[in-house]
Structure 1
């Protein structure tokens, strides 16, 4: 009985996590699209290897796993808009949570590289 409860709770947690990562952001530009303004910073929080294999045009690499984002937070403009993506939406969610703790408020999780490309209409480049 206890094992089935643990499995059920684990399944629910996984479903909520997947649902949160799969949705494309929405904005005034229409469902699933994000407009990039002059003070918008596009952050790729994947590894350097992932970035080299393909990234959004004009994205800045701040490897979340290596601590690059955490190290850069003090020098980032907390009033700017940040669009954040990774491989699946997991690291970008963690990056946004870290930035929120530091007082950033204008943050959008774009999810994966492919979702980010669709949402921003930016090409994936090498």
Structure 2
């Protein structure tokens, strides 16, 4: 991939990533895009600094989640402030139940200047359907 192509990988409306900032071991085609649950699991297994953000309600989160995720309730009054407080340089995998709230969250985060966003639109429903492990409060 050429330097020019690498510069175009970032999400629309985000600050461009310079090639020197890109990690050589991350499949950058995923940054700013949608991925399936199996690919998400593979990324989580190989990229320990990837932060997982679950934007479902606390009740939904307690019923089953990806181990080690951060739960920010999309419907909470403080949601925008919580997003604004996150590290804009970190890599995030964002999910919800089935893609709606996480898709809107991606848009909000882009507007806030986040650059390394990966969306899992199948959500926890797709994760469970694929037989991938979850953690729950039950």
* TM-score with structure 2 setting the length: 0.62
Describe the superposition over 1:75-120 as per-residue Cα deviations: whole angstroms up to 9, x where unpaired.
Answer: 211111110111110000001100000011111111210334688x
- Matched-pair contact (CA < 8 Å) for 2:98–2:125: no
**Whose RCO is larger (CA < 8 A, sep 6+)?**
2
- Matched-pair contact (CA < 8 Å) for 1:45–1:84: yes
Distance change (3 Å), C-alpha of 1:57 and 1:32:
closer
- The residue that corresponds to 1:83 in the other structure is 93
- The residue that corresponds to 1:46 in the other structure is 56
Distance change (3 Å), C-alpha of 1:48 and 1:104:
same
* TM-score with structure 1 setting the length: 0.67
Report the number of matched residues: 98
| Long gaps (5+) in structure 1 | 1-23
- The residue that corresponds to 1:114 in the other structure is 125
C-alpha RMSD of the superposition? 2.4
Structure number having the greater helix percentage: 1
Whose Rg is larger?
Answer: 1
Structure number having the greater strand percentage: 1
Distance change (3 Å), C-alpha of 1:40 and 1:117:
farther
Q: Does 1:98 align with 2:104?
A: no
Q: After TM superposition, where is structure 1 displaced by more than 6 Å over at least 4 residues in a row? A: none
| Long gaps (5+) in structure 2 | 1-33
